[in-house]
Amino acid sequence: MNLSIFKKTSLLTAILLLVFSSLVFAASNPGGPSTNGQTNISSTLSYADVVKILGDIKHSSKGKVEVFTLDKYGKSEAGRSIYVAKVGDGSKKIWIQAQIHGNEKLTTEAALDLLKTYASSNNREVQKVLGEATLYFIPMYNPDGAEMNTRGTKIMSTGQLLDLNRDWTLDGFAGKESLVVYKYWAELKPDFAIDLHHQGLKQVYGTNEATSFSLGISLAPDGPTLPSYKNYNDVTRQMLAYVYDNMKGYGYTHIDRYQIVDAAKQIGYDIDIKGGVVSAMMMGLNYNGLNPKHHSHPAVFFETKGNTSEGSLGQKSNGYLTKQNYLALKSLVYGYVTGEIYEVDPNHWNDIPAYPLAGYWTDYNGIVPVGASGY
């Protein structure tokens, strides 16, 4: 590669890193909610609130919901317990994790709302789910970040903030939370996982509508990595196309595909991030011999609009955004349990609005062009 191309690539990377910062998303989106100042987080759930709510749900469920900590594997960097709630009697194990990023608050509320539904509803669809599946909720993966209202956790020995969602790699596990949750995952061996996030502000391609919800796969479909892992390239697309259709039925129309967007150029990059937790789940990561048979399963993620550390989350819209997340989760669990997701054409994924694909945004080789092989 000659020097001028190298310089151009570095410049592109620098520009994209800027674009990836949500502040730039916000600044480039004058139609979105105000981003002045920080959202008052007193209206969102604290760690203590979550522990209390879990106890209340367990109590009122009359034995249907179990709540426990992962203390036998360790605690967070600051010494907080990581909680799990378990509900259902079926053989399919579904993993739902929220707030691995501590400033992504409403994901925890959506997960707890769904847990409440499973704990208390006698609805036929709910009973079907609980008969066929057992659900494992981790409503607050990153309690330290949640309390600090930061994306990462703080490593106690260095004081540095660490993104726990880049830490499931062979040379990772720098944060205590990562190993706690990984050990549990490797022992439990789930069949399917959903990971809940918030994103900065963006617009649905070709419209003036602010995206309210994005559907994502952390190893891009048809990208450099996923097609070589079992049939996850199809099933993950089927799952998200299924959710997309269901959400349209509920009247949620500002849904698109998760991408890193260059708003000025109106192009998007699909992510292909191997260190992401749900990516490592799909790749069957075997860290320290803890997953010797390379257990793996499909996994997808949802991104709700806005986050609290940028102040781009309005209290007025919190209920709407939580409900949207709740409905999407509930519908995907149902579609998975009943097998309805397998009736969807995987290529229907392409009907979810997205920016023209400019390449794959990776955590191992910068921007990988579409169609490139050998990665």
Nearer to Zn ion, 218 or 238 (CB): 218
Lookup: tokens for 329: 């989760």
- When the beta carbons of 183 and 197 are compared against Zn ion, the nearer one is 197
Residue 173 identity (one-letter amino acid): F
- The answer to whether 77 is a known catalytic residue is no
**What is the torsional sign of CA 183, 186, 190, 195?**
positive
Q: What minimum distance in Å lies between the beta carbon of 199 and Zn ion?
A: 7
On whether the CB atoms of residues 105 and 308 are closer than 8 A, the answer is yes
CB of 145 to Zn ion, least distance (A): 10
CB-wise, 101 or 237, nearer to Zn ion?
101
Residue closer to Zn ion (CB basis): 197 or 274 = 197
Closest approach, Cβ 176 to Zn ion, in A, equals 19
Nearest approach in angstroms of CB 103 to Zn ion is: 8
Whether the Cβ atoms of residue 142 and residue 164 lie closer than 8 Å to each other: yes
DSSP-assigned letter for residue 219: B
Residue indicated by tokens 């600090």? 148
Query: Measured from the CB of residue 106, what is the shortest distance to Zn ion in angstroms?
Result: 12
Question: For residue 297, what are the CA distances in angstroms to 139, 192, 245, 278, 335?
Answer: 20, 5, 23, 9, 16
CB of 22 to Zn ion, least distance (A): 10
Nearer to Zn ion, 104 or 270 (CB): 104
Q: How far is the CB of 344 from Zn ion (least distance, A)?
A: 26
Identify which of residues 299 and 337 has a Cβ nearer to Zn ion in the complex. 299
Could you tell me the CA-to-CA distances from 262 to 29, 205, 358, 367 in Å, in that order?
12, 11, 9, 13
- What lies within 8 Å, CB to CB, of 361 at 6+ separation is 16, 20, 260, 269, 270, 271, 272, 273, 367
**Interface with Zn ion (CB under 5 A):** 101, 104, 197
Nearest 10 degrees: CA dihedral of 202, 306, 200, 204?
-20
Q: How many helices (H) and strands (E) does the chain have?
A: 10, 14
DSSP 261-312: EETTTTEEEEEE-TTSHHHHHHHT---TTSSTT-----EEEEEEE--TTTT-
Relative to beta strand 65-69, strand 92-98 is unpaired
Nearer to Zn ion, 165 or 236 (CB): 165
3-state secondary structure at position 198: strand
Geometric angle at alpha carbon 125, from 123 and 129, rounded to 5°: 115
List the catalytic residue out of 77, 132, 177, 303: 303
Relative to beta strand 299-305, strand 267-272 is: unpaired
* Catalytic annotation, residues: 303
